[in-house]
Structures are given as C-alpha cells and as structure tokens.
C-alpha cells in the first residue's frame, strides 16, 4: 500500500459496522485525529488517546489524568463584577504509550516504506485496543507487529501494553524503545472557542530515576500547584541474547531492548504504566505510590489484567446491554456509547466526568450541566456506583459553590457552568453567571439516583446537603410578585441562543422540583435538616415557591413559550440563511440571535422530557411540532431530546432519524470536531433515545413505567437496566412487549399506564398501533438525516452476533 493509499478517500466509511467492536480495517491519515478519540481508552482516572504506539504520525497526542489541570488567565476587554479571573485547562501529561521500533536501523513509520496491512480493533467486551500491522521498510525488511493496549478498570492507576514484533522473511536486527515523555509538542488547534487552549511545557521536572526496566518521572504544574508521577516497568520475552538498557532525563524515561530474530521468532514486551497525582502529597509519596502500583500490576500479570478487564465488563453488560434488530449501525453505536460512558466514570471516584471524558482536550476538559442531565441517568440505571461518585464530587465542591453564590449576592450555592476543580471557568457571563439551571440539574440527578438505589447513606451524607443549598439559591433568586406568583427573572436556560430571559420554562420546572424534593428530603431526615439550619418555616417557603412557580403559556398559539415572551419575538429568517452559515454563533452576532425565535439546542422539548408530568399529551404534541420548526441543532445535545419526545408524541420514524444523529455523532464525525474528543453526552443520547424514547421508560417514586413503540426500521429492541436491587430486561416488538426479571426481589411496573408486578414469571402485553400523523417541518436544511438501513441487515437478529446471553450471562 502506497502513501496515497494510506491517505484514503474522505467519503469512505472509516469503521466496519460490527456489533461488539469498532474495527478500522485500514489506516486513514485523513481521519487520524478522529480515530485517536474513537480508540481512546480510559477508566475515569487515566485516559489514553488512541495514538499510534510509535507516536508519529499523530493528529493530537493525549494522555490525561482526571482533574489534573493548569491555570490560565481569562482576559476581558472590559472587566465586570463577578467575572472569573482564572481558567482551568486539562493538560497532556506524561505519555507512557510510546514504543518506538527500529528495523535494521530504519525507524518504523507508516508514512515510509510500504504498509501491507494495518487494522485496529476496539473490543467493547474485552476492554482493549488491538493493532495489527505488516510493514516493509524502505530497506525492504518486512515485519509483523501486534500491540494490545488497555487501561485497567480494576487497578485504577494502571495502563498496560503487550507489544509483539517478528520478522516475516529473513533474520533482522530489531531495537525497541519504550518511553515516558513529558511536555510533548502539541499541534495548533485553531481558533474554534470550543477547542482547548494549548499550554506550552506546563510540567516542571522534580525527579527522574531508572532502575533495570523501570523508570519514574515526577513533575509539577507551574501554576495550579499539582504534582504527578508516571512510571513504567516491563516484562520482556525473546529468544537468544538481548541487550536491555534504561536511562532517564528530566522529561524522558527510556528502556531500550536490542535483539536479533529469525522468521518465526518473536520479541514480546509487556509494558506496565502507572500514574498518580495530588495537590497535597509529597514527591516521595507519589513516587512510592507509582512504584507500588507497578508492583501490583506485574504481580497480576498481563493475562491477569486481561481477565480482570473482561470480567468487569461482563458484569457491566449484564445490566446494561441493548440489542437491536433492524439497524446495525445503531446497534454498534449504542454499545460504543455505553462503553465510553463507562470509561468516563467507572473509576473517577469523586472526580468529575468531563464533557469529552478523557478522550481529548475539547472544552478545555471541563464538565458542564450535561453530565448530570444526560450522562448520569445512563449510569444511574446501568452502573449506579459511578453516578454516586460523580455527585459526591459535586458535594466536595459545595464550599466553592457557596463562595460563588456569596460573590453574586445570593443564598445557598451557585454551581459553576463549566469547571474542572469547582471554580467557575466561563468567561461568557450570560452562561457563567446566569445559567443557574445547573443547580436544578444536579438536584434532579440526586433525586433520580436516590429513587433508583434507595441509598439512604448517600441521601443523608451527599444528597441532603446538595438539595438544601440548591433550594436556598432558588428561593433567594426568585421572588413572589404582587399577585403571589413566583418568578425567576434574568436567567439563561439550556438554549444558548437565548440569554438572560425571564421565567425559562425548563429552569422554572426544574427549580420547582428542586424545591419540592428538598423540602421532602429535609422532612425525611429532620435531625440532619436541623443541623443544616433548615427550619420548618424555611421548608414551607420552598413548598410555597414551588406551588406558585410561574410556567408561561401562550394561549394564542396554544404552546408553552420557551421563556416569557419568547413567542412574541420575530422568527429567524431561515430561508435566507446559507447552509455554510451554520453554526449560527460563528456567523451572526449574539444580539441578533437573542431577540429572534431560533434555538441552538432543545430547551422546551427537554423540559417536556425531564418534567413530563407538567404537560398534557396534547400540549406535548403541539409544543414539539412548534419547536421543531425553530431548532437548528447547532449543539450536539439537541438530537437526543428530540428523539425521546418525537417517540413519545408518536413521530417514531423522526425519532429514529434523531437517534441516528446522536448515536453516530462521533463514529461518523457529524460535527467535524471528534478530533478534540468524543461527545459523551451525545453518546448517552443513544441510550436515552432507545430506552426513554422507544422504550418509553420513566422512573419516579419507586416505580418504573414504560410506553414502548418501535419505528418501522427497527423490528426488535431489547434493553437491560438496574433499579432498586433488580436487574430486568424489556424486549419490544411491533405488537407486544415482554418484561423479565433477571435478578432481584421484583418490582411494580406500568405498561402504557397499566400497573402490574413483575416477579419470577415474564409478563407480556400488547402494544396498540398509533394513527398516522403528518411529520413536523424543520428549518430548511436542518432536517435530520433519514435512517436508510440495509434491508438485509434488518433480517439478521442482533443475537446472531453475540449478546449478553451468548456470553454465558443470565
């Protein structure tokens, strides 16, 4: 294969469509950065981008530690009170992925010589990235290379690589260099404000040592006051004599092994990599921590790490797997999304879940409200321990949220719009100051988790403090007007094309729930409520505010305005907007967007999903149709909410189209920015679109309800979930749904409003067909791409490719 062959053609599919893996059958240099994000491995603590083992070529090198960041100033043309002065940016830490190879003194580099074969496979049941290469050097020496990489889900500090090389035709002299490299040079990421700021050489060396096949580097950041250690150790196997050497420098640790191999012989290097960081621990303590982690990993061994990884994932899939007949791309995408969501939170352990996980530097590595709103629901019903950890991290930052509220002259806590450590890092004040709905999003995630798990200890130690302080902010932020109506004025809702509005419906409904649930939780735990200073009068004031909450409604149009007065604005001139002028925020001034009816991401539609009880079925239908004509989806967060609500109002094929957009955001690089990291919340939308959309799943007050219906392109949907100690499976076909209890004591369920108790015996119910309805119209050129699946794929059931059952899981 020539260099031209390697570059490929940009419109060819990059990845093969397979149910349990993502396979790249050939190297595409034009999509290299996208692949580095797609093939990223993480456990929520350590993240490795899917860079090539030899390090070059690369799109964007990346190795990340959760919450390890550097500070940078936030400049303003005009300063304002309450503007954050310091930003936080995730940094590329010491790279331990590197294994360079020389074949008779010729460096292995896919851009030179001839690449006969290059395949990479992300295996979502094994939790590994495997690469197989056959390459002839410019000097005509041919080698075969296989590498398998993992980031351990069971040993939090550990990543490991098994690297094997063998000559194909003749005896060759081979030299492998395994490295740790700090302060790598990064490419220019451009001017897109969504892309991370590049920091030059952010790490300062404090220690470098080597011994045998082991090397340790310790560095500190220049400004944020954080310290990290990275270490590597090796097991080496090969025939005959080998020369092994190690060396270290301030930013480099290197182990070199040289040998001569005949065809049929193989050099095998197992590289163990360990990371640790702290804002308080000393250099010797971090050094020792990494040494201990390496010792534990070597004791487990490569085969042991592989087994632990597969066992961990098998248990996850037993309560999370989704099977689809009729759309093979969605089948792959939903498992891909679940795998990366698990990777983002599995071992975060009281750290945040960033918008990109640990797959890239996009959004500076920050977490946003979409973690609680979109990602945590998936984890709550599939891997609840990770959801609890993410909320425990919010609790750890409560003091900083108190300080922010005090700075803004408010009671309670004001959580940041975007952050790494807990301080507000948004230099855009309509969001960073006015988007208070983040408080209610956190409270909703608390209520959802407690309902799903009945975790009383969490409720007392984590949940109640968060609920109390968020409720206090709403009570102070809003006010009763002369008619006694409770208003929340001058805030920004989820839609970023509207800002500083009065009575955003989503915000008011979510705040209402926050106030109600905080009062109820305080009543359940009066001893703790008294400790937090919650009086009977204060709890009563929360209930009064909730009962009097203003929810605007436009009687003239028969729809809910997104915020008070929104439907009186002029509509955006969609017909005159050129296709290349999207996203609008990069081509039009905000003042023009703010005063028009145009929506970046679903807002009122999201309110109908999250607070469905506040709307009648007819209101949902009318609202959905109205806002379809205004939503341009310049945000990757829109399609999943539209998919869920399209399914609920009976627009099943449209829901399928939106499901495709949210599920395939990164595998198809729909936003053309997957290079900066995966869209974790968008991938969560694949689960939401299937489970909450076509499954119609809603949960509250100890009860699960389902209203399943399938689009024409999907003949069967089966999904698993966990709820209150139960593990259940729901299987939906066009005519009926079957509910099965796989594990647990049983529970009360609803099927299209009909109550039943699920026990040892499966329960089957019919599904009534819906009447055909006209399809709503979207802005010109902003329609979702129709799902056109291969009719032959529709005939092949997902179970034929392997499922949780075929893996021996009940």
Q: Which residues are catalytic?
A: 496
Neighbours of 513 (CB within 10 A): 20
CA atoms of 46 and 417, how far apart (whole Å): 24
| 304 phi/psi in degrees, rounded to 5 | -65, -40
Residue 211: exposure state from Cβ atoms within 10 A (0-12, 13-18, ≥19): exposed
Q: 252 and 177 in contact (C-beta within 8 Å)?
A: no
Q: 324 and 797 in contact (C-beta within 8 Å)?
A: no
Catalogue the E-assigned strands of 2-56.
16-17, 21-24, 41-42, 46-48
User: In the Cβ-directed half-sphere of 741, how many Cα atoms lie within 13 Å?
Assistant: 18
Q: Which is nearest to 547 in space by CA: 555, 558, 536, 539?
A: 539
* 736: Cβ contacts below 8 Å, ≥ 6 apart: 764, 765, 766, 767
Tell me: cis bond preceding 605? Omega within 30 of 0 counts: no
**Angle subtended at Cα 738 by Cα 737 and Cα 743, rounded to the nearest 5 degrees:** 145
How many helices and strands, by DSSP H and E, does the chain display? Answer: 22, 33
Buried residues in 313-338 as b, exposed as e (16+ CB within 10 A): beebbbbbbbbbbbbbbbbbbbbbbb
Backbone CA torsion sign across 657, 663, 668, 673:
positive
CA atoms of 372 and 352, how far apart (whole Å): 10
CA atoms of 324 and 19, how far apart (whole Å): 10
Residue with tokens 């939090």: 156
Distances (CA, A) of 612 to 200, 242, 400, 471, 523: 48, 67, 32, 21, 25
* 185: Cβ contacts below 8 Å, ≥ 6 apart: none
CA atoms of 319 and 117, how far apart (whole Å): 37
> Facing residues of 136 across strands?
114, 142
User: In the Cβ-directed half-sphere of 473, how many Cα atoms lie within 13 Å?
Assistant: 32
Catalogue the E-assigned strands of 535-666.
570-571, 596-597
CA atoms of 45 and 159, how far apart (whole Å): 11
Tokens coding 221:
């950041």
CA atoms of 666 and 682, how far apart (whole Å): 9
| 231 phi/psi in degrees, rounded to 5 | -140, 155
* DSSP state for residue 631 in the 8-state scheme: B
CA atoms of 546 and 533, how far apart (whole Å): 20
Q: 96 and 448 in contact (C-beta within 8 Å)?
A: no
Q: Which is nearest to 675 in space by CA: 38, 25, 22, 27?
A: 38
* 124: Cβ contacts below 8 Å, ≥ 6 apart: 20, 21, 22, 313, 335, 336, 339
Residue 484: exposure state from Cβ atoms within 10 A (0-12, 13-18, ≥19): exposed
CA of residue 29 relative to chain centroid, distance: 25
* 706: Cβ contacts below 8 Å, ≥ 6 apart: 695, 696, 697, 698, 730, 737, 739, 749, 750, 751, 752
């Amino acid at each position: 294969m020539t260099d031209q062959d390697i570059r490929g053609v940009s419109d060819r599919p990059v990845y093969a469509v397979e149910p349990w893996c993502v396979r790249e059958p050939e190297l595409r240099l034009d999509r290299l950065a996208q692949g580095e994000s797609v093939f990223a491995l993480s456990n929520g603590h350590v993240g490795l981008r899917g860079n090539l083992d030899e390090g070059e070529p690369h799109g964007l090198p990346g190795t990340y530690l959760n919450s390890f960041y550097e500070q940078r100033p936030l400049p303003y043309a005009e300063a304002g009170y309450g503007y954050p002065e310091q930003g936080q940016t995730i940094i590329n830490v010491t790279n331990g992925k590197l294994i360079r190879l020389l074949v008779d003194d010729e460096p292995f580099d896919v851009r030179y010589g001839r690449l006969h074969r290059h395949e990479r496979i992300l295996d979502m049941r094994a939790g590994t990235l495997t690469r197989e290469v056959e390459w002839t050097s410019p000097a005509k020496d041919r080698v075969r290379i296989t590498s398998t990489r993992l980031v351990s889900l069971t040993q939090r500090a550990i990543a490991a690589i098994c690297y094997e090389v063998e000559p194909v035709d003749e005896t060759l002299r081979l030299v492998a260099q395994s490295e740790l490299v700090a302060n790598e040079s990064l490419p220019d990421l451009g001017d897109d404000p969504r892309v991370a700021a590049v920091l030059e050489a952010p790490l300062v060396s404090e220690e470098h040592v080597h011994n045998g096949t082991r090397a340790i580097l310790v560095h500190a950041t220049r400004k944020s006051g954080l310290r990290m250690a990275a270490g590597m150790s090796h097991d080496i196997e090969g025939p005959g004599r080998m020369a092994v050497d190690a060396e270290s420098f301030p930013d480099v640790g290197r182990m070199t092994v040289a040998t001569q191999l005949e065809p049929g012989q193989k050099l095998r290097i197992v590289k163990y990599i360990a990371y640790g960081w702290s804002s308080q621990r000393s250099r010797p303590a971090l050094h020792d921590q990494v040494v201990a982690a390496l010792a534990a990993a070597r004791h487990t061994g490569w085969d042991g790490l592989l087994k632990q990884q597969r066992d961990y994932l098998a248990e996850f899939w037993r309560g999370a797997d989704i099977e689809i007949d009729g759309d093979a791309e969605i089948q792959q995408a939903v498992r891909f999304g679940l795998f990366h969501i698990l990777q983002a939170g599995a071992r975060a352990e009281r750290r945040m879940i960033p918008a990109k996980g640990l797959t890239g530097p996009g959004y500076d590595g920050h977490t946003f409200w979409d973690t609680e709103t979109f990602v945590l629901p998936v984890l709550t019903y599939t891997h609840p321990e990770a959801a609890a950890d993410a909320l425990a991290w919010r609790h750890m930052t409560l003091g900083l949220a108190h300080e922010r509220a005090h700075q803004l002259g408010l009671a309670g806590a004001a959580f940041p719009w975007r952050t790494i450590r807990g301080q507000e890092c948004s230099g855009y004040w309509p969001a960073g100051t006015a988007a208070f709905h983040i408080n209610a999003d956190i409270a909703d995630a608390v209520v959802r988790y407690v309902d799903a798990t009945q975790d009383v200890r969490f409720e007392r130690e984590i949940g109640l403090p968060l609920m109390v302080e968020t409720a206090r902010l709403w009570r102070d932020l809003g006010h009763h007007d002369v008619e006694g109506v409770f208003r929340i004025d001058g805030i920004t809702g989820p839609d970023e094309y509207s800002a500083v509005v009065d009575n955003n419906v989503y915000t008011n409904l979510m705040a209402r729930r926050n106030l109600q649930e905080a009062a109820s939780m305080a009543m359940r735990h009066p001893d703790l409520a008294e400790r937090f200073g919650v009086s009977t009068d204060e709890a009563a004031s929360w209930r009064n505010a909730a009962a009097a909450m203003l929810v605007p409604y436009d009687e003239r149009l028969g729809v809910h305005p997104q915020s008070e007065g929104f439907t009186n604005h002029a509509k955006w001139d969609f017909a005159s907007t050129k296709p290349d002028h999207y996203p609008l925020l990069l081509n039009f001034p905000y003042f023009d967007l703010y005063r028009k009816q145009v929506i970046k991401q679903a807002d009122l539609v999201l309110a109908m999903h999250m607070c469905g009880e506040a709307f009648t079925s007819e209101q949902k239908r009318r609202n959905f149709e109205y806002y379809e004509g205004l939503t341009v989806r310049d945000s990757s967060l829109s399609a999943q909410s539209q998919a869920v609500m399209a399914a609920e109002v009976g627009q099943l094929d449209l829901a399928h189209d939106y499901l495709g957009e949210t599920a395939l955001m990164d595998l198809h690089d729909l936003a053309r920015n997957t290079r900066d990291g995966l869209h974790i919340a968008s991938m969560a939308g694949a689960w939401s679109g299937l489970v909450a959309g076509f499954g119609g799943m809603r949960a509250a007050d100890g009860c699960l309800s389902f209203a399943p219906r399938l689009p024409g392109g999907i003949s069967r949907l089966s999904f698993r979930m966990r709820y209150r100690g139960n593990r259940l499976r729901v299987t939906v076909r066009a005519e009926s749904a079957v509910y099965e209890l796989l594990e647990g004591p049983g529970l009360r369920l609803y099927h299209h409003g009909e109550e039943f108790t699920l026990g040892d015996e499966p329960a089957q119910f019919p599904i009534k067909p819906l009447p055909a309805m006209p399809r709503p119209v979207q802005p010109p050129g902003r329609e979702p791409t129709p799902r056109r699946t291969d009719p032959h794929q529709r005939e092949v059931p997902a179970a034929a490719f392997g499922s949780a059952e075929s893996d021996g899981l009940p």
